[in-house]
Amino acid sequence: MKTNFPLTLAVIFWFIFSSQSAFSADTSGKPAFDLWPGMAPGQTNMLEGTENPSKDTIIRLGNVTKPNLTLYKVDKSEGPAPAVVVCPGGGYSILAMNLEGTEIAEWLNSIGITAILLKYRVPNNRQGAFQDVQRAFRVARQNAKVWNIDPERIGIIGFSAGGHLSARACNGFETKSYDPVDKADEFSCRPDFAMLIYPAYLTTKDFTIVEELPVTSKTPSTILIQTQDDGIKVENSIYYYLALKQAKVASELHIFPTGGHGYGLRPSKNAVSNWPKLCETWLEKTGVLKK
């Protein structure tokens, strides 16, 4: 049978270029996927995001209106691996994309977990960010077989504002934040477990849990890490933990005297630098990680 080579080649090129809206690669070479087919709910433009100049080594990404997921798959896994959606912090103004994003994803890979780095919408778009995190879980579960992840072991980790977004995902999964756009939205958006690292905005000034975090027995098991000298008052984590305790949600709280805020994985002389090991041990105890 004679093959029409020019026509076949044209079809291949059409497929590649027409797929770029859904799949690309980030600067690390990891596969990246658009979160929404077209514009995200409520958006009128599609900016990729801009890096804000900085004298330190933190990449601060701002003006994000085109959210996406970057997949950090574990190199080897016996069967489907657990996965974690990574939510960087930045006060809902920017995203600390390396400190609380790519570096966290690489750590998760090192302990046998596939990381799904979420680039959510900023600045000042909490509802958009909430829509993005709900959609992230649905897309992850839809692609569980392709990504070789266990759809019943998909958790979340968040830092500072990303910690608030993670807690909101853990307590607002029954909230319909947007109208379904495709079959991915038939899947659950509930995290199976959560790691909140120096989380922000969990309580009001008088330390009552904020309205958007209605903690119940359905809230997933959670580990919280914070320090007494954090600019975000440590009561933020304490009262959230007590709400989890009252709802009979099995959780852990670790408080350290010093360490401040925004340390990520970067080493210091403070004992809080040991938080990754605490989380790894907790993941083993809860059965997320197999020893």
- Beta-bridge mates of residue 224: 196, 253
Compute CA distances 123 → 45, 89, 93, 107, whole Å.
Answer: 14, 12, 4, 27
Calpha distance 85→87 (Å, rounded):
7
Alpha helices in 223-274 (DSSP H): 235-246
pLDDT value for 162: 98
What is the domain-level CATH number for residue 208?
3.40.50.1820
Total domain count, the chain? 1
Backbone angles phi, psi at 107, to 5 degrees: -65, -45
Question: For residue 19, is it within any domain?
Answer: no
Query: Tokens 């000298």 sit at which residue?
Result: 229
pLDDT value for 26: 53
Whether omega for the bond prior to residue 53 falls within 30 degrees of 0, making it cis, is: no
pLDDT value for 1: 42
pLDDT of 27-74, one tens digit each?
Answer: 568 999 999 999 999 999 888 788 887 778 999 999 999 999 999 999
Calpha distance 125→161 (Å, rounded):
12
Question: For residue 25, is it within any domain?
Answer: no
Compute CA distances 200 → 19, 59, 218, 272, whole Å.
Answer: 37, 20, 22, 17
What's the sign of the alpha-carbon dihedral 224, 228, 230, 231?
positive
- The two tokens of residue 188 are 């659950």
Question: For residue 226, is it within any domain?
Answer: yes
Question: For residue 43, is it within any domain?
Answer: yes
pLDDT tens for the chain, 291 residues: list them. Answer: 444 434 333 333 333 333 333 544 555 689 999 999 999 999 998 887 888 877 789 999 999 999 999 999 998 778 899 999 999 999 999 999 999 999 999 999 999 999 999 999 999 999 999 999 999 999 999 999 999 999 999 999 999 999 999 999 999 999 999 999 999 999 999 999 999 999 999 999 999 999 999 999 999 999 999 999 999 999 999 999 999 999 999 999 999 999 999 999 998 889 999 999 999 999 999 999 987
- Domain span at residue 88 reads 39-285
pLDDT value for 22: 53
How many C-beta atoms surround the C-beta of residue 230 within 10 A? 23
Calpha distance 135→127 (Å, rounded):
12
Question: For residue 32, is it within any domain?
Answer: no
- The two tokens of residue 74 are 């574990």
What pTM was computed for the model?
0.90
Question: For residue 8, is it within any domain?
Answer: no
Question: For residue 18, is it within any domain?
Answer: no
Secondary structure (3-state) at 261? coil
pLDDT value for 53: 74
Question: For residue 22, is it within any domain?
Answer: no
pLDDT of 24-40, one tens digit each?
Answer: 455 568 999 999 999 99
Residue 50, H or E segment: strand 50-52
pLDDT value for 2: 43
Calpha distance 72→117 (Å, rounded):
8
- The two tokens of residue 178 are 């947007």
